[in-house]
Chains A and B, each alone.
Chain A
Amino acid sequence: MNRILVEFAHPAIQKSRINRRLIQAVKELENVTLNDLYEKYPDFFIDVKKEQQLLLEHDIIVWHHPFYWYSAPALLKEWMDLVLVHGWAYGEHGRMLEGKTVLSVISTGGRLEVYSKEGRNRFSIQEFLVPFKQSANLCRMEYLPPFVVHGAHTISDNEISEYAENYKKALTMLRSDAVDRDRLMKAAYFNDLIE
């Protein structure tokens, strides 16, 4: 069974509608560790050694965050800057994360259609996520298609429940390696792989 580490970054969880529900859905899962970064490091003073140790103890890393300015909230970026350091995560001798898998889980206000060449945001989610993808790549990790919640400001409670349920399913699938490799490579979103 794969061990999953959810690196969760949300600076105002008390105001969140979606991410709170998503987290609720997965936090009790066996072999899933929730690492609530804003709760753990309110002063941004990240304990690098501890965080690296945590990474070593898991096989799959989830970057779970709202999509702020087409990217992650500041603390997750700080985490990347400090934890994924040269000589440890990447570089000639930095191979500690080699072979692990990364999944981005994001929530965004825009609907799917605004994330297209013709849409308001002009680029697709995958295009915006390139820095994350390449970061994983540089650390010799596999980067999966993202799990995305679109239309965060307008979706109904039922839809949120559905997303939460799917998130749980996604992690359960990843945990037991029950993902079809071929479909995985073709899929645009991880959401598409869930029945």
Chain B
Amino acid sequence: MYNQDFFFQALIYLLAAVVSVPLAKKLGLVSVLGYLAAGIIIGPFVLGLVGREATDVMHFAEFGVVLMLFVIGLELEPALLWKMRKSIFGLGGLQVLLTSVVIGAVALAFGFRLNRAVGIGLILALSSTAIVLQTLTEKGLIRNTAGKSAFAVLLFQDIMVVPILAIIPVLAAFNAPGNLDNTQLDKLTGVAALPGWAQLLVIIAAIAGIIFLGRFVSKHIFRFIAETNLHEVFTAMALLLVIGIALAMDAIGLSPALGTFIAGVVLADSEYRHELEATIDPFKGLLLGLFFISVGASINFMLFIEDPLRIIGYVLLLVLLKFLVLLALGRFFRLKKGYEFLFAFLLAQSSEFAFVLISFSRQSQLFEEKTGGLLLLVVTLSMALSPLLLLFNDKAVSPILARWQNKIEFDEVEAQEKPIILAGFGRFGLVVGRLLLANGFKITIIDSNPSNIEVLRKFGFKLYYGDVTRPQVLENAGIANARLLILSMAEYENALEVARYVRKKYPEVEILARAKDIFHAFEFVKLNVKTVQREMFNSGLEMGTKALEYLGFSRYEAYRSARMFKHHEEEVFMELYEHWLEDHSQFVQETRRFSEQLSETLEAEKKVSIYETDCAWDVESIREEAAATLKSK
């Protein structure tokens, strides 16, 4: 068959992804690790299903990174970016500078010549945008302080790719002094070949072009296409836009990722933002997956097998150096307590840009083949190590950190006679807590998010940093004779764990729990927690009431309908609960949960037939009787 080979390759890659990623997820790992493992398995050193062309696939799949930055740009507002300027240039700038100096110094100590040491330092200073952003999105850390700082650093690194590309040939020239001739310079492409002021002009012109295109032109094009109602044309246009910008950037020697990121930011304000995001997203996901698989497949294990200990040593040394610099910077920039570790672990690997830079360095003869191969291997392994580092942070470092911090903070907990313990003081707990405080109750508030704590302390709230899943924290807060324990935290599994523990050890303590959804609520009811509040139910109901008002209901009619619905829901809830007790002892998968919940709720709603129309103040029967009386007269 025509192109059989291509389809066979596609089959292998897709199969590897479909098998390994869900497996990695089941094991609680980020999908990146699953993709990398899949790549290693299908690669030449295990099954040998894909061979040397994996590198080509990788170059193709690097486009996934470009798409990812476009999507991220779409989600960022320019105002937010402006707010981040300090972290981007301060934190990012210092990270690149310090890390290159440290790694360069170590390379020098290993006997590399100065110019090569500088090159190695610069190349290895970068961190993997693809891995880190994928991780941040998957773990929902993109809005977290550590996540934002990591993102700022990555942005700066993306910008730095351009000057590094320009510097490499210059460094290479020092290998043989006097050899910096025109042939060497000719190899420079685009901006790097121009004098400094012209480079700046071209960059400014390019960025201005993107902004102009995004702001003023794209709107009309998208509208014109959207009016055709042909979705695939819109998809084509979106891809055309991204690929066009990427190629244009490439042509002038700027990083395509940076260009599309700017385009994304410019379009973040446009009315087509969501449509664009939804269109690009699947391409992005697939290409990124492909990219990681090909990275896995292209790891040269021959080099590794020759001297495994040395390679492992290099990888660990690299990660350690980067980690230490990042940790120091995290401290220096006053990241919130505990977050500097997350920040450092997040960025401790090397970048996929290193692949590009290394191959360019080889062409420019900065390194010989062997050094290049070694660097590639180290970079790849450091990337593969990255998910494990985060796992290490989650499982080992942050619990220890939390414990250590608790020791200090918890000395301050005032022993309340019969404390009211409020665990979790975020969007939900804040409302609960404020109501109680407004009514003159003293409450012991425990939260595990240090950034909340600092803000709220400023406003005079008494808060304690702590992880309530740790019995010691609960004991210190006085759980033994607590009047109430309110579990308002968003760490749903932890809340259940706490409820389970308290029910067992202090059965007389009254527990009030915030539930994520109906299934989560069932778990609490099963633990004999009587007051369970589904976090979204009431606000949804309020919104529905408002909607009824706009639809012509009188305000009181709308109110009563909502009340009726709520009471009805309580019966539906119990009906579903009985059902759940019978046949839902096994774990229901997260993704299936919502649709299952929906269909079961609607099913139960049919059965519980109390949802009659409101008969209150109904005068129908009186009118009939009155009419009958009139007639009989």
Contact = CB atoms under 8 A, between A and B. Distances in A.
Interface of A: 43, 45, 47-48, 81-82, 85-87, 91-92
A48 B615 contact: yes
Nearest to B564: A45
B52 interface: no
A92 B628 CA distance: 11
B617 A86 contact: no
A82 B567 contact: no
A53 to B, nearest CB: 14
A86 B628 CA distance: 15
Given A47-B567, A81-B616, A81-B617, A91 B560 contact: no
B625 interface: yes
Given A48-B616, A86-B625, A87-B621, 13 more contacts: A45-B560, A48-B615, A81-B616, A81-B617, A82-B616, A82-B617, A85-B615, A85-B618, A86-B619, A86-B621, A91-B621, A91-B622, A91-B625
B563 interface: yes
Contacts of B617: 81-82
Interface string B593-633: 00000000000000000000001111101100100000000
A176 B567 CA distance: 38
Contacts of A91: 621-622, 625
11 contacts: A45-B563, A45-B567, A48-B615, A48-B616, A81-B617, A85-B618, A86-B619, A86-B621, A86-B622, A86-B625, A91-B622
Interface residues of B, number: 12
A48 B564 CA distance: 12
Contacts of B625: 86, 91-92
For the complex of A and B, the 10 pairs showing the least CB-CB separation, nearest first, are A45-B563, A87-B621, A86-B622, A82-B616, A86-B621, A91-B625, A92-B625, A43-B563, A45-B567, A91-B621
Nearest to A44: B563
Contacts of A85: 615, 618
A85 B567 CA distance: 21
Nearest to B612: A49
A85 B563 CA distance: 20
A6 B567 CA distance: 24
Please indicate which of the listed interface residues A81, A86, A92 has the most CB atoms of chain B within 10 Å of its own CB: A86
A48 B617 CA distance: 12
A43 B560 CA distance: 10
Contacts of B564: 45
A43 B570 CA distance: 15
Contacts of A43: 563
A81 B567 CA distance: 20
A48 B619 CA distance: 16
A20 B610 CA distance: 35
A92 B618 CA distance: 16
Interface string B564-578: 100100000000000
Contacts of A87: 621
B563 to A, nearest CB: 4
Contacts of B567: 45, 47
A83 to B, nearest CB: 10
Contacts of B616: 48, 81-82
A99 to B, nearest CB: 21
Nearest to A82: B616
